[in-house]
Amino acid sequence: MPLNPQLDYTPEVRDALELGRPVVALESTIISHGMPYPQNVQTAREVEALVRQHGATPATIAVLHGRIKVGLSPDELELLATDKAVQKISTRDLPVTVALGGHGATTVASTMRIAHLAGIRVFATGGTGGVHRGAERSMDVSADLTELSRSEVCVVSAGVKSILDIALTLEYLETQGVPVITLGADEFPAFYSRQSGHPSPLTVDTPEQAARVLRAKWELGLGGGVLLANPVPEASEIPAAEITPHIQQALSDMDALEITGKHTTPYLLGRIVEITGGRSLSTNIALVKHNAAVAAQVAEAYMAMGM
């Protein structure tokens, strides 16, 4: 596939794509709006290193000065982690940021779309967005779910945070025909916790099996994405019984401040870090790294099956 000229690639990513080597896309909202400085940039660097250690090339995606970047330099990562002019941009925002020459940190939704434009099939993140609690009134359903039904990309995440309505999120994904597959467990994970109380719709045992599912789905002409849920490692999890009251607290603080729309996820993540005295941040970092390692293995197995 010829390289898409609308995108700017780092030399490392360009080479990997041209040679048909495994590439793992990484999002940037997690850097700008998902973690505090300096842990955000440190984690971003460590995640890229882990992808390389597992034999794949990392491609962190963002928009800088209106140009879509597939792969970032160390200075560009630092800018994303520190510059307050960086907006959180989802799919709807992408054309505006490009047209007006702004800086944007891409969410799961917009990163998926750009990965697809670049021909990247596997993407690692922390947690995906979903159907928010109370969505039957607010209609707050993350564009991440729409994009999962649309872009041919596998998203490796630690499941869906219980700041969201997990049951409704799973229902929505079923309606949209998105395979929700948990790696090595029968229960769908809840980001900070390995358990969510919801059985996983589907399960695989190895990254190689996940790669075979991707091949089968796209060779059959079944478009759209796959959500591969990878439970947080046991040593780093916060059990559901412990995190639930903290999440309740963060949700009621958010209501009191009347925070809505795109600001809800960043607010809740930050508030939970405060309430847990930093413990949720350690868990978040651990699960992102685990997802990056698994995504690299899936990408490698997928590429090994031929174009």
Binding-site residues from annotation for substrate = 88, 108, 142-144
Residue 127 binds to ligand PSU (criterion: CB under 6 A) = yes
Catalytic residue at 300? no
Are the beta carbons of 192 and 237 closer than 8 angstroms? Answer: yes
For residue 29, state whether it binds ligand PSU (rule: CB under 6 A): yes
Could you tell me which residues are annotated as the binding site for Mn(2+)?
Answer: 140
Q: Does residue 38 have a cis peptide bond before it, meaning omega lies within 30 degrees of 0?
A: yes
- Rounded distance between C-alpha atoms, residue 21 and residue 38, angstroms: 31
Distance CA 207, CA 127 (A): 18
| Among positions 17, 23, 26, 27, the unique one binding ligand PSU when judged by CB under 6 A | 27
Binding site partner of 41, from Mn ion, ligand PSU, none, Cβ cut-off 5-8 A by kind: none
**CB of 213 within 8 A of CB of 167?**
no
Would residue 27 show up in a list of annotated catalytic residues for this protein? yes
Contacts of 202 (CB under 8 A, 6+ apart): 179, 180, 181, 182
With CB under 5 A as the contact rule, the residue among 48, 78, 140, 300 that binds Mn ion is 140
Q: Is 86 in the site for ligand PSU (CB under 6 A)?
A: no
Indicate the pairing of strand 57-64 with strand 67-70: antiparallel
Of 273 and 303, which CB lies nearer to ligand PSU in the complex structure?
A: 273
Helices (H) and strands (E) in the chain, counts: 13, 11
Is residue 104 near ligand PSU by the rule CB under 6 A? no
Q: How far is the CB of 257 from Mn ion (least distance, A)?
A: 16
Binding site for ligand PSU (CB under 6 A): 27, 29-30, 33-34, 90, 107-109, 126-127, 129, 142-144, 161, 262, 265, 269
Q: Which residues have a catalytic role annotated?
A: 27, 161
